[in-house]
Chains A and B, each alone.
Chain A
Amino acid sequence: QSALTQPPSASGSPGQSVTISCTGTSSDVGAYNYVSWYQQHPGNAPKVMIYEVTKRPSGVPDRFSGSKSGNTASLTISGLRAEDEADYYCSSNGGSDNLVFGGGTKLTVL
């Protein structure tokens, strides 16, 4: 199972919006509404920010939102804040009872 494709880096200034993409195939992202997004700060475990494409866990700011079109899912962070600087990973049900992750995107807040 191949990894999902994410841009290695993204950046934005405080207050701006940034969108991170996650491209898979018709066998994973395109086939299931089970895409999650994780935030990982250095030295910490991943934290789920979005699950099932658009759902936000309690406690996650509504500045974080998710969407999907075809084989590509997206995470949008609006009103960027310094604490949003982190690595972001997407994951998807990969079919055949597997889970597949993206390679990760390093977000820099300028």
Chain B
Amino acid sequence: EVQLVESGGDVVKPGGSLRLSCAASGFPFAAAWMSWVRQAPGKGLEWVGRIRNGGTTDYAAFVKGRFTISRDDSKNTIYLQMNSLKIEDTGIYYCKWEHNANYGYDDWGRGTTVTVSS
């Protein structure tokens, strides 16, 4: 059974940093392409970025160097390092396993909540 468990969400002040984790099981993780998607309160879904097998990353334009996605295949885990956080970064952050490099079928975690507030 595929399982994706996000963690690391917290309350942080504007300008602060946070690292989210996504622990995966039930599929060949080292070969997997993984994405982060976020959802602001009461709003829609927004793609943050993805990491390919091997570690190459792609990011949404709004990231602008503030966020970094990495992976540790020995721990079956991906990370989202978020720096210079803004109030508008508040929301639920989901990780998902991209079964296809072109964004076809996917599996999602349950998400972790990030609140940026002074």
> Residue on A with the closest CB to B44?
A104
A32 and B102 contact, CB distance less than 8 A: yes
Main secondary structure of the interface of A (DSSP, over half): strand
Least Cβ–Cβ distance between A33 and chain B, in angstroms: 9
Q: What CA separation (Å) do A1 and B60 show in the bound complex? A: 8
Q: What CA separation (Å) do A37 and B116 show in the bound complex? A: 29
Q: Does B67 contact A (CB under 8 A)?
A: no
> Size band of the A side of the interface?
20 to 34
| Most chain A C-beta atoms within 10 Å of own C-beta, residue among B35, B108, B110 | B108
> Residue on B with the closest CB to A105?
B44
Q: What CA separation (Å) do A51 and B104 show in the bound complex? A: 6
Least Cβ–Cβ distance between A4 and chain B, in angstroms: 10
Q: Does B91 contact A (CB under 8 A)?
A: no
Indicate with 1 or 0, residue by residue over B31-60, a CB within 8 angstroms of chain A CB atoms.
000010100000011110010000000101
Known: A46-B94, A93-B102. 5 other contacts (CB 8 A): A45-B109, A46-B108, A51-B105, A91-B47, A99-B103
